[in-house]
Amino acid sequence: MLSRIDDVSSVEDISIMVGLKQPELLTMLERLADLGAVKLSWRTAAEKSAGKTPSGAAPAKPSAKPVAAGGEAAPPRGEAHPAVQRVLAEPLTPLYTQSELESPGDLSEEHKRRVLNVFYGLDGKDYYALLGLTQSADKKEIRAAYFELSRLFHPDSMFGKDLGSFKPKMESVFKRLTEAYEVLGRAARRKEYDEYLASMVTTSAMQHTLDRVESQVRALSTAPPSKPAKPMPQEPQRRSAPPPPMPEDTRRASQVNPLPPVNPRPPATTEERMAQARERLRRSFAGTPPAASQPSTASNRPSAPPAAAAQPMAPKSPSSVGRDSALRNLRASLRQSGTSAGGVEPVLAHLRKAKDAELAGDLLSAAAALQAALALQPNHKDIQSQYERVSRSVTRNLADNYEKQARYEEKQGKWSAAALSWERVSDGRPEDAAAARAVSESLLKASGDMHKAARYAQRAVDIAPSDSANVVVLARVFLAAGQRMQARRELEKAVKLDPQNEMIKNLLREAR
């Protein structure tokens, strides 16, 4: 009760918040004032006007006076606070059944409807939404919204009335409202909660993007292979007139001295010419005979000009060198395996974009670019392996964010939410035994799905079988599921791993 006293709360406000009747509350307040723990506004006013009020004297209208250390007046009560109006707004689709609305109870139909809508709308709402506020709300707005909603949902505000099945619902709503007020009403806890909300928004967006990309990749992998593009029709070659007959002596000379065969290789590429020029330059400096005396594979090709060969090349960074090499290899691989109707260049453009995004640390964009490349070449093994590698990196980054959320949820005692977050962590880090164990521990505290708890506990044991903590969690899951024989078997293993642990021995006695 003492923790609820501030500069603006009235006796009625505190009575609602702590669930005490006003006469009992007034007796406690007077006693605290005698001990000097609080100052009462009506005592302060009386002392200023006519000296100190005798101990135990009560004000004429205590419920209308604030209980405060500073003696400030309580805010006037008028129309409902805008935040409260947002909380009580009727949803487009009712969240309750007609039979629930018609349940017996000394509440008006409008009040019943409000209780049912707010109660069934609790899940999925953050603390700001529960109070009908935005994240920019100040402390005064938070307090005003909470106090007004408390008057509507605290069961003791309807003292003497039969609330029927609405009473536990009102208690649940009031408990959540109080949680929201206690977190948002304190600067340090509110800052921590705001960081948690920001992490949830970022992680949710990343997860949504990754899920979308992975679903598209799965669709590509299951799609039937596409038919190769049809070759473009070629123009029929025109027949030229036959050449005139050669003279007899010319024909005889051509038979004696035939022409040398034409080189079937294509002209040298720019890279080959540059390499040949660099080799000639190196030989000239080393005193080696010129390339003309060496066997050459391109003797019939024109060589690059010496000025181009002697020009120095700009050095490249190791990352760009590796990227260029990978792209050259992929270019050759794509040409060997056949290309889509769009050709090689669109695929390479997506691969370049993926590499640039990965170097910049934007793994999601890299995964999306690789997915676009896979859309053009769905069966290319190199692109598939690159996508799988980047996807694993994204999943690991997401696991780190989910771990932060899980630890905050554990701190707040939200074990069901913590179990879901730890599940994401374990799926992203399949070699992490502690994350798998945390899923099972959270589900145990939340009384959640024991089949899932057993699965993740077994995963932790498989990863680290010599860690007694993993074996104990699996045994606890078996105990919670009523499988005492399996629990006893696991606990006997745990005793061998940690014979001095009294907690394990106690669990083993319970299992027997």
Does 209 reside within a domain? no
pLDDT, tens digit, 9 for 90 and up, residues 358-375: 888 888 788 888 888 888
Q: Looking at the structure, tell me whether residues 464 and 379 fall in a common domain.
A: no
pLDDT at 59 over 60: no
Share of the chain above pLDDT 70, in %: 65
Q: Looking at the structure, tell me whether residues 87 and 180 fall in a common domain.
A: yes
Q: Where is the domain boundary, 64, 91, 110?
A: 64
The predicted pLDDT at position 257 comes to 45
**Which one has a higher pLDDT value, 260 or 440?**
440
Contact predicate 439/432, CB 8 Å: no
- Closest by CA position to 190, among listed 133, 148, 149: 133
Compute the distance between CA of residue 31 and CA of residue 182 in angstroms, rounded to an integer: 26
Q: Looking at the structure, tell me whether residues 328 and 374 fall in a common domain.
A: yes
| Structure tokens that stand for 439 in this block | 């899923």
pLDDT at 4 over 80: no
Does 87 reside within a domain? yes
Report the interhelical angle of 502-511 vs 468-480 (nearest 10°). 30
Q: Looking at the structure, tell me whether residues 52 and 104 fall in a common domain.
A: no
Q: Looking at the structure, tell me whether residues 124 and 165 fall in a common domain.
A: yes
pLDDT at 418 over 90: yes
**Which one has a higher pLDDT value, 448 or 7?**
448
pLDDT, tens digit, 9 for 90 and up, residues 81-109: 788 888 888 776 777 788 888 888 888 88
pLDDT at 448 over 80: yes
Compute the distance between CA of residue 31 and CA of residue 131 in angstroms, rounded to an integer: 33
The predicted pLDDT at position 232 comes to 43
The predicted pLDDT at position 307 comes to 44
- List all residues 6 or more positions away from 197 whose beta carbon is below 8 Å from its beta carbon: 126, 135
Average pLDDT over residues 217-231: 60
Is the torsion defined by CA of 52, 57, 61, 67 positive or negative? positive
- Cα angle 26-31-35, degrees, rounded to a multiple of 5: 145
Is the torsion defined by CA of 346, 349, 355, 356 positive or negative? negative
- Closest by CA position to 389, among listed 431, 350, 347, 358: 358
Compute the distance between CA of residue 444 and CA of residue 437 in angstroms, rounded to an integer: 11
| Structure tokens that stand for 92 in this block | 């487009």
Q: Where is the domain boundary, 350, 365, 394?
A: 394
Q: Looking at the structure, tell me whether residues 52 and 26 fall in a common domain.
A: yes
- Closest by CA position to 5, among listed 27, 29, 23, 22: 29
The predicted pLDDT at position 284 comes to 45
Q: Looking at the structure, tell me whether residues 423 and 356 fall in a common domain.
A: no
- Closest by CA position to 56, among listed 20, 22, 32, 73: 32
Query: Could you tell me how many helices (H) and strands (E) the chain has, helices first?
Result: 23, 0
Does 26 reside within a domain? yes
Q: Where is the domain boundary, 185, 212, 240?
A: 185
Does 481 reside within a domain? yes
The predicted pLDDT at position 374 comes to 80
Compute the distance between CA of residue 25 and CA of residue 32 in angstroms, rounded to an integer: 11
**Which one has a higher pLDDT value, 208 or 228?**
208
pLDDT, tens digit, 9 for 90 and up, residues 455-488: 999 999 999 999 999 999 999 999 999 999 999 9
Q: Looking at the structure, tell me whether residues 451 and 379 fall in a common domain.
A: no
Report residue 421's pLDDT band, with 50, 70 and 90 as the boundaries. Answer: very high
The phi-psi region of residue 329 (left if phi > 0; otherwise alpha if psi is between -120 and 50; otherwise beta) is alpha
Does 381 reside within a domain? yes
Q: Looking at the structure, tell me whether residues 89 and 180 fall in a common domain.
A: yes
Number of domains in the chain: 4
The predicted pLDDT at position 495 comes to 92
**Which one has a higher pLDDT value, 329 or 435?**
435
In whole angstroms, how far apart are CA 184 and each of 136, 138, 195?
11, 9, 13
pLDDT, tens digit, 9 for 90 and up, residues 166-200: 889 989 999 999 999 999 999 999 999 999 998 88
Q: Looking at the structure, tell me whether residues 386 and 427 fall in a common domain.
A: no
The predicted pLDDT at position 258 comes to 46
Does 222 reside within a domain? no
Does 444 reside within a domain? yes
Domain that holds residue 328: 318-394
Q: Looking at the structure, tell me whether residues 60 and 149 fall in a common domain.
A: no
pLDDT at 45 over 60: no
pLDDT, tens digit, 9 for 90 and up, residues 140-156: 999 999 998 988 888 77
Does 263 reside within a domain? no
pLDDT, tens digit, 9 for 90 and up, residues 285-306: 444 444 444 444 444 444 444 4
List the single range of 166-170, 273-277, 372-376, 422-426 with lowest mean pLDDT: 273-277
Q: What is the CATH number of the domain that holds 113?
A: 1.10.287.110
Q: Looking at the structure, tell me whether residues 54 and 94 fall in a common domain.
A: no
pLDDT at 445 over 90: yes
